[in-house]
Amino acid sequence: MKEKMKRMLAFMLLFSLVAFAAGCGSPASPPASGEKTGTGAAEEVKEDDDEVEKTAAGPAMNPKAQEMEQVLMEQLAPLPEFNTGEKIGVLIITLANPFWVAMKEGYEQAGAELGIEVTVMAAPTEGDTKSQLETLDAIVARDYAAIVASPIEPFNLVPGVVRANKKGIKVINLGPPISKEALKEAGGWLDGRITVDYEEQGAMAAEYIVEKLGPAGGKVAIIQGIPGAGQSEGRTAGAKKVFEAAENVEIVSIQPGNWDRNTAYNIASNILQAHPDIRAIFCCNDVMALAAADALEAAGKREGVIIFGVDFISEAHEAIKEGKLDGSIAYSIRVYSKAALILALKTVQGHAIPDEVFSPLALVSKENVAEFEGWE
């Protein structure tokens, strides 16, 4: 009997923990416009550098980012009404990747700026397609006016989007595409899409690499993300095209690193084993590029190899400044997330929006990294 009591007690304890976590995580009453979302983000996401603090205070944007915002806003005109308190649900890929953590902050900050209520949810890991769909289903069951969704792969969110359509919730697709064909077949649709031109990202990085290699050229390798993922396939295709067109540049290896630091590290060291004379490695994101740089460093072969990533996460920013990484392709997370919310607002308020909007891009390398101080 005593033992039963003990067990009961422990389960109750666990249960109260659920309740406690609920208290921490659920959004409080409608935002008074401003601070609320900013502080929420600071609590939930580990702040490991001073940049986060600056965003919480609402800093002046980096001039380069402001330029980009201007361009995008012109593309999005006429703007919808702000401070209307609409509820918008956001489904990102995973909070286990710094890029998506930054996106989450971007969304929350943009939500505060625009005076709307934004909730960001994610799948537990980058490969968990099934959990992501389940998360979307649960979001659809709530009372959001619109959902901004970024799928792990083109098909996994399709049934959830159809349910949102049926319920009259607007759906904006950000980043990796949700298959329009599959949606159509399932009787659903997207209300809008905002994305980055992935091929262009790969091509920009490859052009920089080719230029740096000069007429002598050399061996290059590509580390992809998860095979089949939109960003990975697009960036690879763009880079491949440029490398193949360049004289004396030879692609010796294209390997899937699954967006994973450890996998990319191993691949980079293997590539180095097979091709000690490798001259450049293009990685489909920064996390893998940083891992590749570490792997080459560990082998004492970092000198003379160009390593390029994509996304320009803050760790990559530091690494470029230190010369550990050669460069990355940037698009402003703040502009990107804000644009998605504006698109969502426009559809909710009945404005027409273009089928597809592209976020502007910038190449960051050691030559121009100084201009990107305070970039988000």
Partner 1 sequence: MKRTKIKLLPGNIFPQLLLILVLLAMVIFLSVASPFFLTWDNLRNVFDHSSLYIILALGMTFVISSGGIDLSVGAVAALSGVCMALAMQGGLGVGISILIGLAVGGLVGAANGSVISLLRINPFIVTLGFMSLARGLALIITGGIPIYGFPRAFTWWGSGHIGPLNPPMLLAAFMAVLAALVLNMSRFGYYTLALGGNEEALRRSGVSIHLYKIMVYLLCGVTAALGGLVVTARLNTAEPLAGWMLELDSIAAVVLGGTSMKGGRGSIAGTLIACLLLGILRNGLVILSIPSYYQQLLIGMIILSAVIFAEVRSRKGLASTHKKERSTAV
CA-based angle 216:222:228, to the nearest 5?
A: 150
The 3 state secondary structure assigned to 259-308 is: CCHHHHHHHHHHHHHHCCCEEEEEECCHHHHHHHHHHHHHCCCCCCCEEE
Q: Is 14 in the site for partner 1 (CB under 8 A)?
A: yes
CB-based contacts of 285, cutoff 8 Å, min separation 6: 99, 225, 231, 259, 309, 310, 311
Choosing from 1, 7, 57, 247, the residue that interacts with partner 1 (CB under 8 A) is: 7
The residue among 251 and 363 lying less far from partner 1, judged by its C-beta, is 251
Q: Is 2 in the site for partner 1 (CB under 8 A)?
A: no
Tokens 């803050």 correspond to 314
Structure tokens at 166: 């049926």
Q: Is 169 in the site for partner 1 (CB under 8 A)?
A: no
Q: What is the dihedral of CA 31, 35, 36, 40, to 10 degrees?
A: 150
Minimum CB separation from partner 1 for residue 61, in Å? 26
Could you give the CA distance from residue 269 to residue 59 in angstroms, rounded to a whole number?
A: 40
Choosing from 173, 179, 332, 359, the residue that interacts with partner 1 (CB under 8 A) is: 179
Which residues ranging from 25 to 84 are in contact with partner 1 (CB under 8 A)?
25-27, 44
CB-based contacts of 250, cutoff 8 Å, min separation 6: 217, 218, 219, 220
Minimum CB separation from partner 1 for residue 115, in Å? 19
What mask, x for binding partner 1 by CB under 8 A, covers residues 255 to 284?
Answer: -x----------------------------
Choosing from 52, 112, 123, 190, the residue that interacts with partner 1 (CB under 8 A) is: 123
Minimum CB separation from partner 1 for residue 280, in Å? 24
User: Using CB under 8 A, which of the segments 14-22, 54-62, 263-271, 307-315 binds partner 1?
Assistant: 14-22
Segment holding 93, helix H or strand E = strand 87-94
Q: Is 227 in the site for partner 1 (CB under 8 A)?
A: yes
User: Using CB under 8 A, which of the segments 70-78, 178-186, 213-221, 347-355 binds partner 1?
Assistant: 178-186
CB-based contacts of 164, cutoff 8 Å, min separation 6: 136, 140, 147, 171, 188
Given the DSSP bridges, would you call strands 327-330 and 306-310 parallel, antiparallel or unpaired?
parallel
Given the DSSP bridges, would you call strands 362-365 and 327-330 parallel, antiparallel or unpaired?
antiparallel
What mask, x for binding partner 1 by CB under 8 A, covers residues 196 to 215?
Answer: --------------------
Could you give the CA distance from residue 183 to residue 181 in angstroms, rounded to a whole number?
A: 5
Q: Is 22 in the site for partner 1 (CB under 8 A)?
A: yes
Minimum CB separation from partner 1 for residue 229, in Å? 9
Where along the sequence are the contacts to partner 1 (CB under 8 A)? Answer: 3-4, 7-8, 10-11, 14-15, 17-19, 21-22, 24-27, 44, 94-95, 119, 121-125, 127-131, 133-135, 137-139, 141-143, 153-156, 158-159, 179, 181-182, 185-186, 226-228, 256
